[in-house]
C-alpha cells in the first residue's frame, strides 16, 4: 500500500519513460498527419526558384496565386532561363465550376434527402427496411460503372442545343448518385435521435403529417441537415472521376489541378497554389462537421 502510493507521488523511471514515449508517439502522429499539408502550404507561397528545393527559409510570395488566377501572360522571374510562370492559368472559371456544381448538387440533393430520411425514420411502409439497406449498398457501386453509361447518354442527349457531356448540369446529375445515399443516411440519423413525443403531441392537437413535418420536425433537425449539406458539399467538391469523364473541359478544380503542368512537367509551385484553393475552404467546412465525419463516412455503421 505504501509502496503503491509512493510510486504515485513520485513516478518511477518506468512511468516516466512510458510518458516520454507516448509524447514522442503523439508528436510522430502529428508530423505524419501535418507534413504533407504544411509542405503544400509552404510550397504555395514559395518563390519559384525555391519551390524545387527543400529549403524552408525564403521570402513568402503570392506570385503563384497570381499566376494561377490570371487570364493573361504573367511574366515572373524575368531574366532567368526558366520560362515557367509565363502563362496565366485561368483558374477563375474552374473555381466557379466547382462552386456551382457542388452548390447545386446540395441544393437539389439535401431537400430530397431530408424528406426521404424523415419518412424512413418515422413511417413504417412496405419495404422500408429493404429500401434503406439498398440505399446503403449503392455507395459500393464503382463510380466508373455510373460514368460509362452516362458518358454515352450525355453525348447524345441535348439540352439547349448542346450535349450534356461536358456541362455542369451533367456533372450535377451524376453527382446525385454518390451524394443522395449518404445524405439520406446521415439525416436519418439526426431524425432518429429526435424524440417522437413532440410530434405525437402535435398530432393529437390536430396537425396533419405535413404540418408536423414542416413546422415541428424540420426546424428541430435543421442543425443535422446543415451538417449533411456540408458533408455533401465536400463530397462533390472533392469528386474526381466524374469530373474527369463527364465534366471534361468544364473543369472543376480537382481536374484543373492537372492543368498546372507545362513543357517542363508539373509546375509544383502552381499546383500547390491551386491545391490551397482546393483545400482551404474544405478545411474550414471539415472543422465544422468534425464530430459527424465518422458517422457520415460509415453511414452510422460504426457507433
Partner 1 sequence: MRKKRWVPWVLVGPALLIIVLTTIYPLIAALYFSFHKYKLRKPPQFAIQFGEGGLYIDWSLLTLDNYALAFRDSRFINSLEVTFWFTVISVALSVVIGLGIAVIVQKGGRLHTLTKVLLIFPFAVSPALKGYSWRFMLNENYGIYDLLIDSLIVKPINFVLSIVNALPLVEIPLISESIVWLGDKFWALFMLAMSETWGWAPLIALMFVGALGSIDEQIFEAARIDGANRIQIFFRVTLPLLRPVILIVTMLKTIFSLKMFDQVVTMTGGGPVRATQTINYYIHQVGFVRGLDIGYASAQSYILVVVLTICAALYVSLVLNRD
- Residues numbered 9 to 38 that lie near partner 1 (CB under 8 A) are 22-23, 25-27, 29-30, 32-37
Of residues 52 and 215, the one with the C-beta less far from partner 1? 52
Under rule CB under 8 A, which residues in 41-70 are in contact with partner 1? Answer: 43, 52-54
Q: Does 218 bind partner 1 (CB under 8 A)?
A: no
Of 74 and 244, which CB lies nearer to partner 1 in the complex structure? 244
Binding range to partner 1, per CB under 8 A, among 57-65, 70-78, 89-97, 128-136:
128-136
The least CB distance from residue 259 to partner 1, in Å, is: 12
Q: Which is nearer to partner 1, 193 or 301 (CB)?
A: 301
**In this complex, which beta carbon is closest to partner 1, that of residue 75 or of residue 96?**
96
Judged by CB under 8 A, the number of residues near partner 1 is 93
Q: Which of residues 150-209 bind partner 1 (CB under 8 A)?
A: 150-153, 173-174, 176-177, 180-181, 184, 200, 203, 209
Contact status: 136 vs partner 1 (CB under 8 A): yes
- DSSP string of the chain? -HHHHHHHHS--HHHHHHHHHHHHHHHHHHHHHHHHHHHHHHHHTS-HHHHTS---------HHHHHHH-SS----STTSS--TT-S----HHHHHHHHHHHHHHHHHHHHHHHHHHHHHHH---TTHHHHHHHHHHGGGS-HHHHHHHHHHHHHH-EETTEESTTSHHHHHHHHHHHHHHHHHHHHHHHHHTS-THHHHHHHHTT--HHHIIIIIIHHHHHHHHHHHHHHHHHHHHH--HHIIIIITTS--HHHHGGGGEETTEE-HHHHHHHHHHHHHHHHHHHHHTGGGHHHHHHTT---
Q: Which of 2, 5, 59, 137 binds partner 1 (CB under 8 A)?
A: 137
Q: Determine, following the binding rule CB under 8 A, whether residue 293 of this chain makes contact with partner 1.
A: yes
Amino acid at each position: 500500500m505504501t509502496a503503491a502510493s509512493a510510486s504515485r507521488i513520485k513516478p518511477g523511471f518506468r512511468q516516466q519513460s512510458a510518458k516520454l514515449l507516448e509524447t514522442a508517439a503523439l508528436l510522430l502522429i502529428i508530423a505524419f498527419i501535418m507534413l504533407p499539408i504544411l509542405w503544400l502550404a509552404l510550397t504555395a507561397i514559395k518563390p519559384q526558384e525555391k519551390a524545387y528545393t527543400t529549403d524552408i527559409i525564403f521570402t513568402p510570395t503570392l506570385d503563384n496565386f497570381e499566376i494561377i488566377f490570371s487570364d493573361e501572360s504573367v511574366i515572373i522571374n524575368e531574366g532567368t532561363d526558366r520560362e515557367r510562370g509565363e502563362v496565366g492559368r485561368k483558374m477563375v472559371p474552374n473555381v466557379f465550376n466547382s462552386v456551382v456544381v457542388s452548390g447545386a448538387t446540395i441544393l437539389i440533393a439535401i431537400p430530397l434527402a431530408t424528406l426521404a430520411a424523415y419518412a424512413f425514420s418515422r413511417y413504417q411502409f412496405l419495404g422500408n427496411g429493404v429500401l434503406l439497406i439498398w440505399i446503403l449498398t449503392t455507395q459500393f457501386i464503382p463510380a466508373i460503372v455510373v460514368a460509362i453509361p452516362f458518358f454515352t447518354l450525355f453525348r447524345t442527349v441535348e439540352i439547349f442545343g448542346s450535349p450534356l457531356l461536358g456541362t455542369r448540369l451533367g456533372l450535377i446529375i451524376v453527382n446525385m448518385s454518390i451524394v443522395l445515399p449518404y445524405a439520406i443516411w446521415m439525416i436519418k440519423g439526426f431524425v432518429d435521435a429526435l424524440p417522437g413525443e413532440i410530434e405525437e403531441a402535435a398530432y393529437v392537437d390536430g396537425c396533419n403529417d405535413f404540418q408536423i413535418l414542416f413546422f415541428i420536425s424540420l426546424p428541430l433537425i435543421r442543425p443535422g441537415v446543415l451538417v449533411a449539406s456540408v458533408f455533401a458539399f465536400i463530397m462533390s467538391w472533392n469528386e474526381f472521376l466524374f469530373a474527369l469523364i463527364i465534366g471534361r473541359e468544364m473543369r472543376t478544380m480537382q481536374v484543373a489541378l492537372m492543368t498546372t503542368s507545362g513543357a517542363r512537367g508539373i509546375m509544383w509551385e502552381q499546383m500547390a497554389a491551386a491545391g490551397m484553393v482546393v483545400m482551404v475552404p474544405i478545411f474550414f467546412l471539415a472543422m465544422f462537421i468534425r464530430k459527424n465525419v465518422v458517422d457520415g463516412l460509415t453511414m452510422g455503421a460504426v457507433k
